[in-house]
Amino acid sequence: MTWRLLGVVIVLAALLVGFTKRDTQYRLDAKRSAFDQAALDHRDSAYTSMTWVASRSENYFQLRFFDKVEGGICLSPSWEDLAALGAKEPSLAHLVPTGGRPTMAKPGASWSDSWLPDPGTLSNSPYVRLFPLSILLNDKLVSAAGGDPRAAKAKVLVVGLGSGAGIAVLAHHFPQVAITVVDIDRKVIDMVRDHFPLIRWLSEQTLADGTPRLRFEARDARQFIHFYDVGNKPRFDVVILDAYTAGSTIPSHLMTTEFFADCARVLDQDGIVLANVIGCYGVTRESSREVTGPKHRVLGGAIRSFRAAGLTSVLNFPVIRPRETPSTFLTDEGRNNIVVSSRTALEPAANKAAWERVRRFVPWPELQIGHHVTRQYYLSKSHDDEFSTTMVDAKIIDDQCPALAKSMKPNPNDKDALQGITYSFDEDAGAAEEARRAVLQWAATGHAKVPKHWDEEGADTVVLVETDWLKYARDTVRCSIAAGADIDRNGGDALVGSPDWKDPTRAPDGAMIGDAPIFTDQRPNADILNR
């Protein structure tokens, strides 16, 4: 009998522990995250687990897969702001919701606020800001539109939806664009259409000739492209490859020469494939030729595979953030690279008119610097990377200790805040304590509960992060374009050597990424290398 009793106790105890201590797949309270972030909705699918997360103090609306941020859009300027601008500015007329705003889905149970996110088109993630290159670099397409990229009637295929930020960027800059999105996960498509009002509205609109402005296909991209009948359907001017799994790896069947050749088949003669490739150049700080992890082989492999598929002209735009020096990407161990390839020569010397447009390109020209700025404080501890509070809205502290911000000095070299400017009081426990008290005071006066980790003592550094999201966006585009134009360092030949080199396992001598393979269906493996 005692044994039976023990059995009952074990089962009940395990159930109790499992039920009360169960962990979630999505965490919102990571260190140094915005104190006011909240989950708008959370859904699971057969492929992933996703959460829409919004923070007004950090100006983002992000779709997270598991707890990874795969992309996001700024909350300010909102779609409403853009529509109001569009009432006066003809260049934004295509974003004015004529015929009313769409009806959106109800937020999930985790959302308790009364407002609902209404993001516009300013992207919060850096790499999608470069998607316009896929149209700007196509001289034939833009010339056919009288040399005005805004009039280009581009047909774009996007593989991998994510948050929809990239689509918003394209829709903002190219009013005549017709976008088809193919994503394997219908639940991701539903999640974006249910909670991103602008995207939902676009998917219900048509262009003057009756083509839908945005349509979705819930299928595996390899299948969709394979069965796309170019005899009956129009070819695309642009194919954007941005499909990733939850572990930030590219599905290996979407990273082979055969797949790229199929992309080329559905592409117009002068069309461009733009791929987001997380990778690196395989150079470490210690030695200029030493190879790091295998990630550089993914980037090099992608470039060689594009060329093997007939898209021989390849440019690489490493996504560079404004605080980085032009050479940091050489030694970086993994970043977004925008790889652009085409049958037609894209290099600056051979594609002068298009490059002129690329250099003149002003992202979000209707918006103004200084209007979409966030300011946040956090506390940290020198020599203790683990210690950090959440980031609180600067207003909370500034209201109570106005002198603090005024006496802080900018940190020109802080690499932790690549997007903005940081100010700090290093190893000044008094200042840290002052800021902490201000936050506790703010919470105590009935506004809210204490932001996470602000009740922990021991901080000796106050940091103020100031970000101008429009400036950040424009700087990213400018720096990345400058790097991409430097083909002696970042062009296809510089990275993986001549396209005539056929050895599938390694690039010719002198190439930056010497061990770049050609990925084929027989040897895909981009998922194994990309970690």
Nearer to another protein, 49 or 331 (CB): 49
What residues form DSSP beta bridges with 267? 236
Q: How far is the CB of 291 from another protein (least distance, A)?
A: 15
Contact yes or no for 8/161 (Cβ under 8 A): no
Name the residue nearer to another protein (CB basis): 23 or 209: 23
Phi then psi for residue 275, to 5 deg, are -120, 135
Q: Which C-beta is closer to another protein: that of 322 or that of 334?
A: 334
Token digits for 382? 């020198």
Nearer to another protein, 3 or 115 (CB): 3
Q: At a CB cut-off of 8 Å and minimum separation 6, what does 136 contact?
A: 142, 149, 354, 357, 358, 361
Q: Under a CB-based contact definition with an 8 Å cutoff, are residues 322 and 414 in contact?
A: no
The answer to whether the beta carbons of residues 120 and 73 sit under 8 Å apart is yes
**Cβ 1 to another protein shortest distance, Å:** 10
Q: Considering the complex, what minimum distance in angstroms separates the CB of residue 70 from another protein?
A: 13
* Phi, psi dihedral angles at 424 (to 5 degrees): -150, 160
* DSSP assignments along 282-324, one per residue: ---SS-TT---STHHHHHHHHHHHHHHTT--EEEEEE---TTS
Taking the least distance from each CB to another protein, the nearer of 414 and 527 is 527
Contact in structure between 329 and 323 (CB atoms under 8 Å)? no
Closer residue to another protein (CB): 16 or 353: 16
Cβ at position 4, least distance to another protein in Å: 5
Nearer Cβ to another protein (140/531): 531
Min dist. Cβ of residue 293 to another protein (A): 8
Residue 79 and residue 148 in contact, taking contact as beta carbons nearer than 8 Å: no
**Which tokens go with 285?**
């700080």
Query: Residue 94 and residue 214: Cα distance in Å, rounded?
Result: 13
> Least distance in Å: CB of 67 to another protein?
6
For the record, the structure tokens of 195 come out as 């909670």
What are residue 52's DSSP bridge partners? Answer: 41, 63
Backbone phi, psi, residue 334, to 5°: 170, 115
Closest to another protein by CB, 10 or 151: 10
256: tokens are: 């082979």
Least distance between another protein and beta carbon 18 (Å) = 3
At 174, list the tokens: 């190219």
- Considering beta carbons, is residue 65 or 364 the nearer one to another protein? 65
Could you tell me which residues are beta bridge partners of residue 342?
A: 272, 313
How many other C-beta atoms lie within 10 A of the C-beta of residue 278? Answer: 18
Q: Which is nearer to another protein, 36 or 242 (CB)?
A: 242
Closest contact distance (angstroms) between CB of 20 and another protein is 8
Instruction: Specify burial of residue 461 (Cβ count, 10 A radius: 0-12, 13-18, 19+).
Output: buried
Dihedral through CA 319, CA 323, CA 329, CA 330, nearest 10? 150
Which of 5/208 has CB closer to another protein?
5
Angle at 207 between CA 122 and CA 241, to 5 degrees: 50
Q: How far is the CB of 223 from another protein (least distance, A)?
A: 19
Rank residues 67 and 347 by Cβ distance to another protein and give the closer one.
67
- Which of residues 11 and 151 has its CB atom nearest to another protein in the complex? 11
Q: Minimal distance in Å, beta carbon 114 to another protein?
A: 26
Amino acid at 329: F
Helices (H), 365-518: 394-400, 402-407, 429-442, 469-485, 487-490, 492-496
| Shortest CB 465 distance to another protein, Å | 24
What is the spatial distance between Cα 178 and Cα 206, in angstroms, rounded to a whole number?
Answer: 9
Task: Catalog residues that contact another protein under the rule CB under 8 A.
Answer: 3-4, 7-8, 10-11, 13-15, 17-19, 21-25, 44-46, 49, 66-68, 187, 245-249, 252, 293, 527-528, 530-531
d(CA 180, CA 200): 13
Residue 87: both structure tokens together: 């009432």
CB of 258 vs another protein, minimal distance in Å:
18
CB of 387 to another protein, least distance (A): 17
CB of 132: closest distance to another protein in angstroms? 30
Q: Which long-range contacts (CB under 8 A, 24 or more apart) does 201-206 make?
A: 201/97, 201/101, 201/102, 202/167, 202/171, 204/102
Based on CB atoms, which residue is closest to another protein, 21 or 502? 21
